[in-house]
C-alpha cells in the first residue's frame, strides 16, 4: 500500500513539472557556469521519509562533487496502524512493531549535467551517484497493556499480547536507554531535474534509489522478514541557493569597456 502511494506521488510530481520541457522565452542573460550550492531536501522513500542537507562544489561547467547528510525514518512493509475501540483511552499503534528505526547517512558523491537549460522555462537534467556510511538506530517500543486491575507498561510479546490487550504506545522515552546503534555502508544514485527559473536559487526534483547495508538484521517487527540490506526508491524536492559563483557576470566586462 505504501509503495502504491509512493508511485502515485511520483507520477503527480512528474506531471506537475512536465510543462517545463516546453520551450519558452529565451534567457539572454549570461549564464553562471560554476555554481557552488547549498540546499535542503525533503524526501519520501518507498519505506519511509526524511530530510537531508547537501553542499556541492563545481568541478567544471558540467560536473559537481557534493557532501550530503541524511536523516531518515524507516518503516516496515507489514506495518498497519490499528486502534481498539472497546478499550478506554485507546490510541493508534502498529501491532507487532518492536522497534522504532531511524538512520543517519553521510555520503560523498558526484553529479554530471546531461541536458542543459536553453530558456527560462526549460529544465536541466543531471545524474548523480554517491557512497558513504550509515548509522542505524533502533529504539525499543513499550506499550500500555490493558489489565483488569490496572494497565501495565511492557514490550511487545506475541506470546502474551493480543491486539485486544493493547491500549496504545507508552511514552517515547520508555526504553530509550536500550537504544542501539549499528554502523553500515550506503550507496545511492539517481537523476536531478532542475526547474528553477533563477540562477541564484535551487528548485530541484530528484528521483533515485538507495541501498543501506548493515552487519546484522535491523529488527523493526516481530517477524521473520526483517532485513540487513534495505533497498528503497525515493523522490526528493530540494530547495536552496547558489553561492561563490565564477565566470557568471557579463555586466562586469561591459563596465570595464565603458
pLDDT in tens, 133-180: 999 999 999 999 998 888 899 998 888 888 788 999 999 999 999 999
Q: Given this model, what pLDDT does residue 190 score?
A: 97
- For the stretch 75-91, pLDDT in tens is 999 998 998 888 888 88
Name 58's Cβ contacts closer than 8 Å, sequence gap at least 6: 33, 34, 35, 36, 64, 246
* Structural fold of domain 2-257: Porin (2.40.160)
Give, as one character, the DSSP assignment of residue 179.
-
Question: Quick one: cell of 33?
Answer: 557556469
Question: Is pLDDT larger for residue 59 or for residue 27?
Answer: 59
Nearest alpha carbon to residue 190 among 105, 130, 254: 130
- For the stretch 8-45, pLDDT in tens is 455 545 444 444 444 444 444 445 556 789 999 999 99
Question: Quick one: cell of 120?
Answer: 527560462
Distance CA 250, CA 255 (A): 9
Domain spans, the chain: 2-257
Q: Given this model, what pLDDT does residue 29 score?
A: 46
Amino acid at each position: 500500500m505504501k509503495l502504491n502511494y509512493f508511485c502515485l506521488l511520483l507520477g503527480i510530481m512528474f506531471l506537475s513539472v512536465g510543462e517545463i520541457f516546453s520551450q519558452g522565452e529565451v534567457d539572454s542573460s549570461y549564464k553562471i557556469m560554476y555554481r557552488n550550492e547549498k540546499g535542503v531536501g525533503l524526501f519520501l522513500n518507498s519505506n519511509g521519509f526524511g530530510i537531508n542537507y547537501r553542499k556541492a562544489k563545481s568541478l567544471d561547467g558540467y560536473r559537481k562533487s557534493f557532501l550530503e547528510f541524511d536523516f531518515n525514518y524507516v518503516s516496515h512493509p507489514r506495518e498497519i496502524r490499528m486502534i481498539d475501540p472497546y478499550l478506554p483511552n485507546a490510541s493508534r499503534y502498529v501491532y507487532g512493531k518492536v522497534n522504532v528505526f531511524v538512520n543517519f547517512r553521510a555520503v560523498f558523491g558526484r553529479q554530471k549535467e546531461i541536458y542543459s537549460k536553453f530558456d527560462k522555462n526549460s529544465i536541466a537534467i543531471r545524474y548523480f551517484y554517491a557512497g558513504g556510511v550509515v548509522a542505524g538506530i533502533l529504539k525499543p517500543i513499550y506499550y500500555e497493556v490493558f489489565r483488569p486491575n490496572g494497565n501495565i507498561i511492557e514490550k511487545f510479546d506475541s506470546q502474551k499480547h493480543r491486539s485486544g490487550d493493547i491500549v496504545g504506545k507508552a511514552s517515547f522515552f520508555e526504553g530509550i536507554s536500550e537504544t542501539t546503534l549499528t554502523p553500515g555502508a550506503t550507496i545511492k544514485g539517481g537523476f536531478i531535474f532542475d526547474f528553477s527559473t533563477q540562477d541564484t536559487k535551487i528548485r530541484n526534483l530528484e528521483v533515485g534509489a538507495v541501498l543501506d547495508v548493515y552487519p546484522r538484521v535491523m529488527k523493526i517487527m516481530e517477524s521473520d522478514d526483517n532485513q540487513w540490506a534495505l533497498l528503497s526508491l525515493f523522490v526528493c524536492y530540494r530547495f536552496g541557493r547558489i553561492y561563490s559563483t565564477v565566470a557568471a557576470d557579463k555586466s562586469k566586462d561591459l563596465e570595464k569597456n565603458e
